[in-house]
Amino acid sequence: MSAKDLLLEIGTEEIPSRFIPSMLVTLKNLAEEGLKQLRFPFQGTRVYATPRRLVLFVDGLADRQEDLVAAYKGPLWVSAFDELGNATRAAEGFAKSKGVSVNDLKDVNVDGVRYAFAHVREEGRLAGEILPGFLPGLIGKLVFPKNMYWQDPTVRFARPIRWLVALRGAELIPFTYGGVESGRVSSGHRFMGDKCVKIPSSDEFLDRLYDNYVILDQVKRKQKILAGITSLEHETSGVVEMDPALTEENLYLVEYPVPFIGSFDERFLEMPQEVLTTSMKKNQKYFAVRTKEGKLTNSFVGVANNRAMDMRVIREGNERVLRARLEDAAFFWAEDRKRPLAQHVERLKDVVYQEKLGTMHDKVMETQKLAAWLCEELKMLEIAKLVERAAFLAKADLVTHMVGEFPELQGIMGREYALASGEDPRVALAICEQYLPKTASDGAPTDNVGAILGLAERVHVIVSCHKAGLEPTGSQDPYALRRAARCINEILWARKLDVDVCEMVRTSAGLSLTDGATVERVFAFLGQRLLVQLKEKGCEHELAKLAISVTRNRPLQVLRLMEALSKVKDEPWFDALAMSAMRVRNILQKAGEVGDAVEPSLAVTDAEKTLYAGVARLEPVVEAALRGADWGGLTASLSELSPAISGFFDSVMVMDSDAKIRANRLALLKRCNALFEEVGDLGSLKLQKEKA
């Protein structure tokens, strides 16, 4: 069986760069799955893309399918053939359905039962027969976030398809898709290459495109971008701000990258640097350039898709476009500062947050109340005024011209406009930091003013959405409530803020909320998110559940208790204690009603006396440790109790024949169980280990 490389090129109008990375993965997966289903052996697949083409290579594709040999189980043998060996209707129908003769059915024993089996052999077909049907089907499975049609409304793609190349080695694979016939003619670079590039075979494809200024391999294209930018850095002594997302976006905007450096008027540097970098990145896909000390310069680096004879033409053209963009930004910056930031707050009454939840102004006022409560709860009255002011101004920048143009600058512009309005720097910082952490790589707020504001807003949003029936369902979470819950815990942990989250929920819900079921749903939602985060940190499921139950809804204490438990969970005494807790619970469940009073005089063994003395001594110690969140002290107390309870079970028969002694021992175990329940369901830990 011979093997050759298969090439499929889908030539199009320019595809949006954001569509391409995920589509390369999809194309690769669909091709491999489809070929495996067709029983075509191949060595591997490669996928490439530029703005004008998606390309699939299948390396070492066999010239024919593998033969199919399959065994199908049919009716019982006694039902398929009578006593004389004549075929019944059941046998005839089964044989016909599998395309074999009745005489070819085999008697096969399966677990002691005889069945009629049909063995079917299907000879593999040639690649030339299968691929003309497979390739258009593969193209049809590619679905983009937005699709277009150009002739036939039933045929859609990211952009209109202009040419198709399909070769297996030098052999043409003929098919038609979207009114375009496959062939061996590709297209070079739009400006520098030939419009018609003949491809003799799949082996010559990459070289032919390269000769026509198309660097198809995105890895090599990226290397060329980075090498060009590095060279420009050496020329300018600056440092290019290499944003990975922007690098990938540029990668799929060009076929032959030519980095260049340009500049803009220094007067634009008077604006906040985030305005400049956002405008360059969002509108023009430019990289900012900084000094080695990190100061933004008036230079930028772009990636052209054309190597002009005179690169000054390209540079000057890009500079003119950027100048217009920055003039707009400068106008917004000047207009927004004509009035203090506080005067924008009233305009939030005209901004609907959500039709069931009211306006953005309503949200601000409710957040402000919750933030004030948090200051009292956390005993941070010294920053209460700052928090109140930050909460009042928190969303004012949403109605400014700049944030209207660049929504990603919310918070950042609020900070800048607050400083320009003479607000306290900590208030300005809080307006910006209320959104932190935005992503998993972001840090938490650096100041408690912003941290409290961020907590208050997120709790308010979660409670409000649950009130309105807008909680997440399955994969749908339009108001990002899961992310909000995650951020609450991250802020509490990072800033070491010890607060009862459930009490925050009750306060946010307010006295007007009489639906207790809604509050309980919020509790369950937050508890589940906390559990997920603890497991992501490597905490065991049952241990995390125990920590949550003990710490009474205080995420900071949950984490601290988990740290204490993690230090002892593998100690022999902890395992023995969990085993004892499980035994105590099981004995009490079977014993029925058990009295509360323990009579020391009825303790006839040393083990009983030791356990009684240990429980009596540790009860107030454990209670104090729980009340004071002394988790190290708690685990130390448990380590003292463990040998006493283990010794009790080793030497004492609980169900003594003497009724009084038996009742006294059960009462002692009941007291032990009450102590265990104070520190969670220890018995479940052992049960979970046994199941595992």
User: Three-class SS of residue 12?
Assistant: strand
**What pLDDT score does 691 carry?**
45
- Cα gap 52→44, rounded to integer Å: 24
**What pLDDT score does 190 carry?**
93
- Which helix (H) or strand (E) segment holds residue 410: the answer is none
Global pTM reads 0.81
- Cα gap 455→464, rounded to integer Å: 14
- Token digits for 546? 């125990």
**What pLDDT score does 683 carry?**
64
DSSP string, 468-486: TT---BTTB-TT-HHHHHH
**Residue pair 557/551 in contact by the 8 Å Cβ criterion:** yes
Neighbour-count burial of 52, counting CB atoms closer than 10 A to its CB (0-12 exposed, 13-18 middle, 19+ buried): buried
- Cα gap 54→23, rounded to integer Å: 9
Closest CA to 556 of 498, 475, 603: 498
Alpha helical stretches, state H, 237-345: 244-251, 273-279, 311-336
The low-confidence residues of the chain, meaning pLDDT below 70, are 1, 511-515, 683-692
What does DSSP say about strands 3-12 and 53-62: parallel, antiparallel, or unpaired?
Answer: antiparallel
- Which helix (H) or strand (E) segment holds residue 29: the answer is helix 20-37
- Token digits for 19? 């569509």
Greatest alpha-carbon pair distance for the chain in Å reads: 107
**Residue pair 91/81 in contact by the 8 Å Cβ criterion:** yes
User: Three-class SS of residue 84?
Assistant: coil
Angstrom distances, CA of residue 331 to CA of 161, 259, 277, 416: 42, 30, 16, 15
Q: Dihedral of the CA atoms 306, 307, 312, 313 (nearest 10)?
A: -40
Give pLDDT tens digits for 674-687: 888 888 777 666 54
- Cα gap 333→244, rounded to integer Å: 28
- Cα gap 612→286, rounded to integer Å: 75
Instruction: For residue 437, say if its preceding peptide bond is cis, omega within 30 degrees of 0.
Output: yes
- Cα gap 499→540, rounded to integer Å: 24
For residue 550, the Cα-to-chain-centroid distance in whole angstroms is 29
Task: State phi, psi for 256 to the nearest 5 degrees.
Answer: -140, 90
- Cα gap 478→201, rounded to integer Å: 49
**Residue pair 310/259 in contact by the 8 Å Cβ criterion:** no
- Cα gap 90→102, rounded to integer Å: 10
Give pLDDT tens digits for 643-673: 988 888 888 888 888 888 888 888 888 888 8
User: Three-class SS of residue 7?
Assistant: strand
- Cα gap 84→564, rounded to integer Å: 78
**What pLDDT score does 389 carry?**
97
